[in-house]
Chains A and B, each alone.
Chain A
Amino acid sequence: DAGVIQSPRHEVTEMGQEVTLRCKPISGHDYLFWYRQTMMRGLELLIYFNNNVPIDDSGMPEDRFSAKMPNASFSTLKIQPSEPRDSAVYFCASSLGGLETQYFGPGTRLLVL
C-alpha cells in the first residue's frame, strides 16, 4: 500500500512568493495532520482535519498560512506571502480512527530566500 504522499519534496522560492504544499493521505484514513519541523522549535502541529473538516488550527502561525482539504484524498498547505522564517520541513500525516498512531509522509523541505 502507498503511504502518505507529499509534493514537492523540495521547494526553493523567494520571499513574497506563494508556496503550495500538497498531500495525499493513506486511503481510508479519516484524520490528516500538517506539521512543521525546524531545528529551533522541533516538530509543531499546525492543523489537523477529521473527515475533511478542520478541527484544530491553533498551531497555524499566522494568517499567511492556510490549509484546505477539499476531499478525503487531498490536502494543501499554502503560505502567502512566504518569508525566510518559514523555511522548514513540512510533514503531512494521516491516521485512522484517532490521533495517536500517525503515518507520516517524507516531508517537503522548503527554503525561502
Chain B
Amino acid sequence: GDSVTQMEGPVTLSEEAFLTINCTYTATGYPSLFWYVQYPGEGLQLLLKATKADDKGSNKGFEATYRKETTSFHLEKGSVQVSDSAVYFCALSSKAAGNKLTFGGGTRVLVKP
C-alpha cells in the first residue's frame, strides 16, 4: 500500500538558517503530494502541494518539488524564522487508495533565535 517516510526530528536550527526536510514515498500510479504543517496547539493546515511530476509547490517561503524519478518531495526554506517552529507532515493521495491522504510520521522543527 501507499506509504510516506520522512526524516525523524527534532530538527533544531538557528534563525535565518536553511531548512530541508526529506520525504520519500511509495505509491501506485501517480499520486498528488502535500506538505501540511501543525503549529503548537493547533490542527494541521495545508502548506503546499504538487499534483504531477516536476511540479513545484510553494508557500510562505517554503518550496518542494515533485521528483518522480527519486519518489521524493523534500521541503526547503532558505531562511527560517522562530515562527516556523512546528511539526511538518509529508502526505500523498492516490486514486488506488481512494484519494485518501496518507501521512508521514511528522518532523518537529525548532527554530531558536
Q: Please give the residue numbers on chain A whose beta carbons come within 8 Å of chain B beta carbons, in ascending order.
A: 4, 42-43, 45, 48, 56, 91, 93, 98-107
Contacts and interface: CB of A to CB of B under 8 A. Distances in A.
B101 A99 contact: yes
Contact of A103 (B34, B45, B93): B45
B64 to A, nearest CB: 15
Nearest to B42: A106
A105 B43 contact: yes
Q: How large is the interface on B (under 10, 10 to 19, 20 to 34, 35 or more residues)?
A: 10 to 19
Interface in B66-113: 89, 93, 98-101, 103-106
B93 A102 contact: no
B104 to A, nearest CB: 8
Contacts of B45: 103-104
A105 B44 CA distance: 8
A100 B106 contact: no
Interface centre among A45, A48, A100, A101 (most CB of B within 10 A): A100
B93 A99 contact: yes
Nearest to B4: A42
Contacts of B42: 104, 106
Contact of A43 (B34, B49, B99, B106): B106
